Structure 1
Amino acid sequence: MTRVIGWDLGGANIKLACVDGERVVSVAQIPCPIIPERRKFDAAVEAALPSIALPGSHAVTMTGELSDVFNDRVEGVAYLVDLMVRTVGAQKLLIYAGRAGFLASEDAKLRPMEVASANFHATASLVARHHGDGLLVDVGTTTTDLISIKAGKVAARGATDAKRLTEGELLYTGVVRTPVMAVARSAPFRGRVQRIAAERFATMADVWRLAGDLPDDADPYPTADQRGKSPVESAGRLARMLGRDAGDAELAEWIALARYFGDCQLAEIEHTARNLAERDALSPDAPVIGAGCGRFIARRLAERLGRPYFDFADMLDVAPEAREMAARCAPAVAVALLASTSP
């Protein structure tokens, strides 16, 4: 197998990567329409097709089966598999099933719990080919994956989302869509600590945008109040979390507040990472491997843990113009590269 298109079908966006042999040629991310209908996946896949210049084999992983447009994950897996069968036609199609490897489409529908949300395993499996020991930290728009690599093997104890949440290998915290109220219940402001509103007035995109860390194109979604994404508008949403208006303080004060909330999110991830490193007896020099649009958090985490840091893209033979997106869309890249060497 030479040319492979890797697909990561998420509920918020579709990611795809084209690899030729072991070289990553191109990577793209297409937001799903924000509509409460299944056809949002069809529309996003159709929009992604122009990114594929030539036919090739296709490897698919997914998290979109968790979308509330489906009654359950079994129904979601079946729908997304059928969508890809229609999309690729006569071209070869492989569905990733975590520890079970790649399955044919009909087999995948018979084993939905292995297919569901297995994209983390694809990324970790590729990392394990390059790092004998390490901690993969993939920080995305909505979630953070933390996966130990031991002796060149994926050391994750969880395979399902439920088990991974139990084991601390999946955190529902990301740098864009996560509501600010999910990372803190109170905040310091002008010499006092006050409670914050339990309302989705602002998201972590506002926090990291104000802090100056969020890449400009990492947030394709509407804001909480449907307004713009300037620093002043982000400050207005953050002020509302404190029951205030942006004009009640200088922009520098809202930036300081944003950094506080960012530290709260990093602290949660650090706490979980330390527990995993202890649980899995990772050596002190085992590196943190960062992926996702929020991997600036992974870099800071490595500093706090006193560990070396490697970027996911450092492992790849990737076209320079595709390097940034390859790191953001790690599961799509990983499933394509894994499939390119699959029998």
Structure 2
Amino acid sequence: MGIVAGLDVGGAHLKVALVEDGRAVCVRQVACPLWQGLDRLDSALAEAAALLSQAEHCAITMTGELSDLFPNRETGALTLIGRLSEELGGKARFWMGLKGFGSAEDARRHHADVGSTNFLATAALAGRRLGAALLIDFGSTTADIIAARGGVVQVHGLTDAERQTTGELVYTGFTRTAVMGVASEAPFQGQWVGLAREYLATMADVRRILGVDLVEIDLHATADGKGKTIGESTVRLARMLGRDAQDGTEADWRAAAAHVREMQLRSIHDGAARVLTSAALPNEAPIVAAGIGASDVEEIARRLGRPAIHFATLVQAAPGYEHWATACAPAVSVALLLDAS
């Protein structure tokens, strides 16, 4: 089929993967704050144009229809289908979840199947490659938890509303989620301190304080619009506890941040445990770690007593692109699925 591009059009990022001979050979993430206007997608597509020009076919999946730029999901999906069709022309093939791929006309007719079904592509690919597995894709905004058994995706919900009740969608992200959405209190100098219910700090701040390098993956503005040093992140987290950064030591703030991270991991662990109760997976079935939070998924796999395999290893990503293949798993997945069709 030649070179196939996979696009995952989100509300915060555009992710693009190139696949050749059944292997991901290039993967890139571009900031795309869609809530600020459709021109942001135009800019992201322009930035990715050099990659897209190499492809003979383009496989497209999306979650950007959820952006509050649009009054509802239908409008969002139809708008994005139209804009991407204009940009990519006859090369565009849209992922429609359980219905597979279709043309722009098919996508308009089945827009409900186009929007927010990127998780099905990654889970389907994992099922084909491993037979039985539990996918945990921990991204900047959400965590998808999907089982595959006998090479077939075992899904109990298709919409966000359904999946938020089944445990298959945990709405918490590695970087973008507000701290107030993760924990209600944190330990500080021997006491539990209630956290402010204000958008003062994000999980990116928490992870910076814990020593995680986010330079390449945290592409959006901070809660206060200021910098992304550990010191500036500490200032923001301190405000959550009603304090200034100088009120505590580095160890104090690391302890508070570690607790917030732990609360987030528990929420994903609980979702995974819930999915596993109905999936009937073999004990040896691995957890496929995907998303920018794949390293944390490894920790969750350890707690669940299952082996972990990074998505990039599963798809044999080209050297130098292992990190981004794992981080942008749906874009790689739709490209590989279309390439094999």
Secondary structure at 1:198's aligned position in 2? Answer: coil
For residue 214 of structure 1, report the CA deviation from its aligned partner: 4.6
What residue number does 1:138 align with? 137
Matches within 5 A, 1:1-343: 1-33=1-33, 36-52=36-52, 54-89=54-89, 91-342=90-341
Change (3 A) 1:184 1:70: same
The amino acid of 2:64's aligned partner reads G
For residue 148 of structure 1, report the CA deviation from its aligned partner: 0.8
Change (3 A) 1:273 1:120: same
Secondary structure at 1:25's aligned position in 2? Answer: strand
For residue 317 of structure 1, report the CA deviation from its aligned partner: 2.9
Question: 2:34, 2:100 → 1: CA distance?
Answer: 32
Question: 2:33, 2:115 → 1: CA distance?
Answer: 21
Calculate the TM-score normalised by the size of structure 1: 0.96
Secondary structure at 1:199's aligned position in 2? Answer: coil
Contact 2:140–2:292 (CA<8 Å) still a contact in 1?
yes
Secondary structure at 1:70's aligned position in 2? Answer: coil
For residue 339 of structure 1, report the CA deviation from its aligned partner: 0.3
Secondary structure at 1:317's aligned position in 2? Answer: coil
Contact 1:215–1:293 (CA<8 Å) still a contact in 2?
no
Contact 2:11–2:35 (CA<8 Å) still a contact in 1?
no
Contact 2:70–2:76 (CA<8 Å) still a contact in 1?
yes
Question: C-alpha offsets along residues 240-265 of structure 1, whole Å, 9 cap, x if unaligned?
Answer: 00000000011121111111111110
- Segments of structure 1 that go 5 or more residues without pairing to the other structure are none
Question: 2:183, 2:209 → 1: CA distance?
Answer: 17
For residue 38 of structure 1, report the CA deviation from its aligned partner: 2.2
Question: 2:319, 2:325 → 1: CA distance?
Answer: 10
Secondary structure at 1:271's aligned position in 2? Answer: helix
Secondary structure at 1:149's aligned position in 2? Answer: strand
Question: C-alpha offsets along residues 127-154 of structure 1, whole Å, 9 cap, x if unaligned?
Answer: 1111121110000000000001111111
For residue 281 of structure 1, report the CA deviation from its aligned partner: 2.0
Question: 2:34, 2:11 → 1: CA distance?
Answer: 10
Question: 2:160, 2:133 → 1: CA distance?
Answer: 21
Question: C-alpha offsets along residues 6-58 of structure 1, whole Å, 9 cap, x if unaligned?
Answer: 10000101001011120211111110146632222222112211233524111
Contact 2:2–2:55 (CA<8 Å) still a contact in 1?
no
- Segments of structure 2 that go 5 or more residues without pairing to the other structure are none
Secondary structure at 1:321's aligned position in 2? Answer: coil
| Moved >3 Å (runs of 4+) | none
For residue 213 of structure 1, report the CA deviation from its aligned partner: 3.0
Contact 1:232–1:251 (CA<8 Å) still a contact in 2?
no
The amino acid of 2:48's aligned partner reads A
Calculate the TM-score normalised by the size of structure 2: 0.97
Question: 1:302, 1:82 → 2: CA distance?
Answer: 40
The amino acid of 1:47's aligned partner reads E
Question: C-alpha offsets along residues 104-125 of structure 1, whole Å, 9 cap, x if unaligned?
Answer: 1011111111111011001111
Question: 2:287, 2:80 → 1: CA distance?
Answer: 32
Contact 1:138–1:145 (CA<8 Å) still a contact in 2?
yes
Change (3 A) 1:156 1:214: farther
For residue 283 of structure 1, report the CA deviation from its aligned partner: 2.5
Contact 1:143–1:173 (CA<8 Å) still a contact in 2?
yes
Q: Give the root-mean-square deviation of aligned CA atoms.
A: 1.3
Contact 1:235–1:255 (CA<8 Å) still a contact in 2?
no
Contact 1:60–1:96 (CA<8 Å) still a contact in 2?
yes
